Structure 1
Amino acid sequence: MIVDCGVYAEGERQDLPKDPETVAQAIDADGDTFGWVGLHEPTDAEMRRVQRLFNLHELAVEDALQAHQRPKVEKFGEALVVVLRTLWYVDALDAVETGQLSVFVGPRYVVTVRHGEGGELATARHQLEERASILGHGPAAVLWAICDSVVDDYETVAEQVELDVDEIETSVFSPERTSDAERIYNLKREVLEMRRAVDPLRDPIEQFAHGIPGVSPKAAPFFRDVADHLNRVSDQTEAIDTLLSSALNAHLARVSVQQNDDMRRISAWVAIAAVPTMLAGIYGMNFDNMPELRWHFGYYGILLVMAAACTTMYRFFRKAGWL
């Protein structure tokens, strides 16, 4: 659906009807204005309507509709098409969910096509409309606000994932026995989703930061700030992945140590049980000429020998740390 449409001149939003036709007519009538049309999971008919009004390239429109693209920047004539991956975190599931945001940037228009629940742009639009000095840079200012909002969401997701990593580290090194391997693996898979969104975006943002056709050189310092935040998130994501790998190795090593301890305890108890079992087996053979069979205190003597042997072995294994 079409979420919002705005026409801007000299950093101020014009009081006009919110529909794509109004935006297209306004930018045709006045060379000092530009328009911003926002769509969320549009139908094919809605997307084709906007395509006709702003002469969007067919291939870029198809990519915007499919919503399974890698982050990238492409140039079609005077227009730029920027594809971003949006991220948001579902804490109950330890899951990083992804969406797509396609941004069509022309000399006098911006069209955004969003898929998924994340990456809402209403907040970024309102904040930008309150900063006329920045909005006066035109479509480049809108592109900066969008990129800045998306990267801020990356930072929020990374912070939430870090909290779960801290919980895992605490659990792995707690005195209680825990089973953390599955959760660690799931988080590593979610971190991979983050890296697929963050890492491919670094080169395009660096291009904007150094100025490319279609983006005003005056906007370059703003994109350098976004690039700095993006690099920080990329380093943070890499560090999280390394921590998870270390936590997984530590967990597996601890499980191995616990299994060895269990085997030693089992072996110790088996050895202790073997002595009375052996004596009972010998005296259960019922031969006529076995010693102590006719001794009045033989039964009690054998029980005493069993108890003494088991006690001695128990104390030995306790001292050796097996029990």
Structure 2
Amino acid sequence: MTERSWTRGRPLGAAWAARMRGLLNNGDVRPGGEHNVHSSVVDCGVYQDGQRTPGEFSPDQALTEARDRPGAFVWLGLHEPSAEEMASIAEIYGLHELAVEDAVKAEQRPKLEQFGSVHFLVLRTARYVPHQELTESSQVVETGQMMIFVGEQFVITVRHGDASEMAPVRADLETKRAALLEQGPWAVAYAVTDRVVDHYLEVADEVEDDLDIIEEGVFSRDRIAPIQQVYQLKRELVEFRRAVVPLQRPLAAITSSQGVVPKEIRRYFRDVQDHLTRTVEQVSSYDDLLNSILQARLAQVTVDQNNDMRKIASWAAIATVWTAFAGVYGMNFDYMPETSWKYGYPALVAFLSFVTVLLYRAFRRNGWL
């Protein structure tokens, strides 16, 4: 595949071509935004007045095209880019090196930073991992990262992980929400954030089902939920909490910003903020409930251990009676009471049996046996 065939006759920019030539010669980038293991570009489009400009563009061509059109902007979607690819994008779009490093490593907490005229928004994505039953090693919540670069004439989304795919978001904006797309790059940032937070709600609902199963198992007569399952769900909930709770501050900064985010888009972000607040409240309540369940399960374990010790102590007390008489009559004294009596042995066995039954009934009545 040649450079010109990838762009349908449009010559590539020098900067992009120099860095991507090795990939293109290997046939690693295909038309239509498709990619394989060597290409991180999922889609690259130019939008004007809420409509996508026909044609296919490389990232540098798309930016040139947007600058030639009033009110146009570029939406570039990347999936797990390498450091080299991200450096090429950064040179074309003027991205700060610190933000680029964060976008490659994908180990950031949710945050909002500004580098000149470019805003850098970091989200953590989450999706529920289906499983037939919860075990001590089950993965319940899978998390990833979503980075959004928002400039005056471009928006770049960088996704790490399999959660929150952007294809449905792009399709929805292009086909059903053209009026929103007219608002520019921040409209895309809203749509992406909205999808990520909607997935939070879905994950929270699914986790609630697992929590109900755990709670039922802990408080059932059979005690079918071991403590390892409770602890595993708590660990997964902590991972989910790390994705959800820190996002409150970036959203608050966006909704309170003046002159940066369009007023109409801020209203949409407030709706996302409401959904996030609901999720945070759910996660907090789940965490409290799970702590209560964990404490209850630990108390149950302690009670079970005490019951076992009571049973052991009860049987030991019963056995002590026989042991005591055996020890006394096992002594080598010449004069022992009833040793010469014909019915001494049967009488002793009968007496010990009576004492055993008496002790057993007493322990049974007190709940020790």
Tell me the TM-score normalized by structure 2.
Answer: 0.83
SS of structure 2 residue aligned to 1:128: helix
State the Cα deviation string for residues 70-113 of structure 1 (Å, max 9, x = none). 21111122221101111223344144332211100111111111
Structure 2 residue aligned with 1:307? 353
Shift of 1:32: 2.5
Matched, 1:216 2:262: yes
Question: Which of residues 241, 254, 259 in structure 1 aligns to 2:305?
Answer: 259
Tell me which residue corresponds to 2:145.
Answer: 100
What residue is the counterpart of 2:238 in the other structure?
A: 192
The structure-2 alpha-carbon separation of the partners of 1:106 and 1:241, relative to structure 1 and needing over 3 Å to count, comes to: same
Identity %: 47
**Which is further off, 83-92 or 219-228?**
83-92
Pairing 1:110–2:155 present: yes
**SS of 1:285 mapped into structure 2:** coil
Is the CA contact 1:78–1:214 (under 8 Å) kept in the aligned structure 2?
no
Q: Given the alignment of the two structures, is residue 12 of structure 1 paired with residue 51 of structure 2, yes or no?
A: yes
Gaps of 5+ in 2: 1-39, 132-137
Distance between the aligned counterparts of 1:283 and 1:115, measured in 2? 81
Distance in 1 (CA, whole Å) between partners of 2:246 and 2:366 is: 56
* Alpha-carbon distance between aligned partners in 2 of 1:105 and 1:291, rounded to the nearest angstrom: 102
Structure 1 portions without partners, runs of 5+: none
Counterpart secondary structure, 1:182: helix
Shift of 1:212: 3.6
Tell whether the 8 Å contact from 1:11 to 1:133 is kept in structure 2 after alignment: yes
Contact 2:67–2:153 at 8 Å: present in 1 too? no
For the 8 Å contact 2:45–2:75, the answer to whether it is kept is yes
Tell me if 1:225 matches 2:264: no
Asked whether 1:125 is paired with 2:196, we answer no
State the 1:250 CA deviation.
Answer: 0.7
Letter in 1 for 2:92: L
Q: Is 1:165 the equivalent of 2:211?
A: yes
The farther-off stretch of 9-18 and 219-228 is 9-18
Deviation of 1:207 after TM superposition, in Å, equals: 2.6
Check whether the contact 1:99–1:115 (CA below 8 A) recurs between aligned residues. Answer: yes
**Contact 1:172–1:178 (8 Å) recurs in 2:** yes
The residue identity in structure 1 corresponding to 2:290 is L
* CA–CA distance in structure 2, aligned partners of residues 83 and 53 of structure 1: 21
- Stretch moving more, 304-313 or 121-130: 121-130
Moved more, 226-235 or 249-258: 249-258
Structure 1 stretch displaced more, 63-72 or 49-58: 49-58
CA distance in 1, matches of 2:224, 2:312: 21
1:175–1:151: structure 2 CA closer, same or farther, 3 Å change rule?
same
Q: Tell me which residue corresponds to 1:294.
A: 340
Residue 14 of structure 1 aligns with an amino acid whose one-letter code is: T
With structure 1 as the length reference, what TM-score do the two structures score? 0.94
Corresponding residue for residue 124 of structure 2 = 85
Amino acid at match of 1:56: L
The code of the aligned residue for 2:236 comes to E
In the TM superposition, residue 7 of structure 1 has moved relative to its aligned partner by 1.4
**Deviation by residue 1:260-301 (Cα, 9 ceiling, x = unmatched):** 111111111111111122122222224332122222222211
Q: Go from structure 1 to structure 2 and tell me whether the alpha carbon gap of 1:91 and 1:285 turns closer, same or farther (over 3 Å shift).
A: farther
User: Equivalents in 2 of 1:35, 1:243: separation in Å?
Assistant: 46
CA distance in 1, matches of 2:273, 2:169: 18
CA distance in 1 between counterparts of 2:288 and 2:66 reads 50
> Over aligned residue pairs, what C-alpha RMSD do you find?
1.7
Alignment match, 1:319: 365
The equivalent of 2:182 in structure 1 is 136
> Match for 1:309: what amino acid?
V
For the 8 Å contact 1:106–1:214, the answer to whether it is kept is no
Cα separation, 2, equivalents of 1:310 and 1:301: 14
1:288 is paired with a residue of what secondary structure?
A: coil
Which piece of structure 1 moves more, 46-55 or 106-115?
Answer: 46-55
CA distance in 1, matches of 2:114, 2:260: 9
Verify the 8 A CA contact 2:126 2:199 in the aligned structure 1. Answer: yes
SS at match of 1:221: helix
Tell me which residue corresponds to 1:156.
Answer: 202
Deviations along 1:188-233, whole A, 9 cap, x unmatched?
A: 2322222222222112212322344431111111111100000111
Residue type of the partner of 1:155?
A: L
CA contact (8 A) 2:214 2:225 kept: no
